[in-house]
């Protein structure tokens, strides 16, 4: 059903988006190379939220618990002001609209092994600059806030792989994982200042 709604939205909005792009983009010089045949631009129903400045906590809306790091692994825990739960959206380290998220211990939120698939554990890891350590904070299809992984989006043809809680659990210490966006409650987060 979700794909049907996306297709309907695409058919309705394509002329509007095309007109906006045509008027907003500068003219292309006649000497520019033509676009690759068969490659249509992807129109996503994604809206960026305000820039996240300052330190804060990453609160799971479903459980009311915060992302913290224990033994290198991300989980949801009772919210505290401990250094493993205090995060900064590092706007000085961004690419393609995504930035690293670093805790007060200097650990980046990263995907275990950089492997993009459902259920991969999220880690607190040495910041290395790999794409699996870059996140953006968006609403998808007008849904609640999600942390979208850059490598997941690049690797899977624009599918959104987001921060989630394993099996929609709410217990203290439940693992934080990567999951393809489906709108479930465990994928909704608030950046709490």
From residue 13, alpha-carbon distances to 4, 24, 44, 78 in Å are 14, 16, 11, 42
Over 70: is that where the pLDDT of 105 sits?
yes
**Distance between CA 72 and CA 69 in Å, rounded?**
6
Residue 43: per-residue pLDDT: 33
- What letter would DSSP give residue 147? E
Strands 107-111, 189-192: pairing kind: unpaired
Domain boundaries, the chain: 46-192
pTM of the predicted protein model: 0.73
Percent pLDDT > 70 in the chain is 72
Q: Rounded mean pLDDT of 77-103?
A: 94
Residue 29: per-residue pLDDT: 31
Least confidently predicted of 92-96, 124-128, 161-165: 92-96
Classify 8 in phi/psi space as left (phi over 0), alpha (psi -120 to 50) or beta: alpha
Q: List pLDDT tens digits, range 71-88.
A: 999 999 999 999 999 999
Categorize the per-residue pLDDT at 106 as very low, low, confident or very high, splitting at 50, 70 and 90: very high
* Averaged pLDDT of the chain: 78
Over 90: is that where the pLDDT of 117 sits?
yes
Residue 169: per-residue pLDDT: 98
Residue 13: per-residue pLDDT: 33
Q: Rounded mean pLDDT of 121-137?
A: 97
- Fold classification of 46-192 is Trefoil (Acidic Fibroblast Growth Factor, subunit A) (2.80.10)
Residue 51: per-residue pLDDT: 54
Residue 21: per-residue pLDDT: 28
8 A C-beta contact, residue 88 and residue 123: no
Q: Rounded mean pLDDT of 33-39?
A: 38
Residue 52: per-residue pLDDT: 62
Categorize the per-residue pLDDT at 22 as very low, low, confident or very high, splitting at 50, 70 and 90: very low
- What letter would DSSP give residue 82? -
8 A C-beta contact, residue 90 and residue 100: yes
- 89 versus 171: the higher-pLDDT residue is 171
């Amino acid at each position: 059903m979700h794909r049907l709604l996306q297709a309907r939205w695409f058919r309705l909005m394509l002329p509007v988006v095309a007109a906006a792009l045509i008027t907003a983009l500068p003219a292309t010089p006649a000497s520019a190379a033509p676009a690759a045949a068969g490659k249509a631009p992807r129109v996503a129903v994604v809206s960026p939220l305000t820039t996240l400045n300052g330190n804060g906590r990453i609160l799971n809306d479903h459980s009311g618990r915060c992302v913290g790091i224990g033994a290198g692994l991300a989980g949801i825990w009772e919210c505290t002001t401990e250094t493993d739960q205090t995060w900064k959206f590092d706007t000085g380290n961004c690419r393609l609209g995504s930035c690293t998220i670093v805790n007060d211990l200097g650990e980046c939120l990263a995907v275990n092994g950089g492997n993009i698939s459902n259920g991969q554990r999220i880690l607190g890891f040495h910041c290395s600059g790999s794409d699996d350590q870059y996140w953006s904070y968006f609403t998808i299809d007008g849904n609640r806030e999600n942390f979208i992984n850059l490598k997941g989006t690049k690797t899977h043809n624009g599918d959104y792989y987001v921060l989630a809680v394993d099996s929609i659990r709410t217990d203290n210490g439940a693992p934080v994982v990567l999951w393809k966006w489906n709108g479930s409650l465990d994928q909704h987060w608030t950046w709490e200042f």
